[in-house]
Amino acid sequence: MYAIIKTGGAQYRVAKDDIIEVQKLPVEVGDTVDFDEVLAVNSDDDFKIGTPVVEGAKVKGEVLEQGKSDKVIIYKYKAKKDYRKKQGHRQPFTKIKITDISL
């Protein structure tokens, strides 16, 4: 059984015991998270697609970690103009283990 959920402006295909990294959520490590925006659910014999969400479907997960991803370097310059600018960015994320998918 798997589901397609939407969180943080992205869509994820998840199954039980999957570990995913989503955009940072305001929760503590060890808490449980409920995803109500379930776009599709596939069970053993049935595939339900929502319009836009599947009614009554819910995906539960446990927060494993709050962290930051690897640094991305942004470097801008203009040739022959003595303009150089270097920036770095680390995107925050929340690591979640999917514990349950229910209809």
| Segment 48-58 mean pLDDT | 93
Model's pTM, two decimal places?
0.84
Which pLDDT score is estimated for 23? 96
Q: Is the pLDDT of residue 44 over 90?
A: no
| Segment 23-45 mean pLDDT | 94
- Residue of 54, 43, 47 whose CA lies nearest to 6: 54
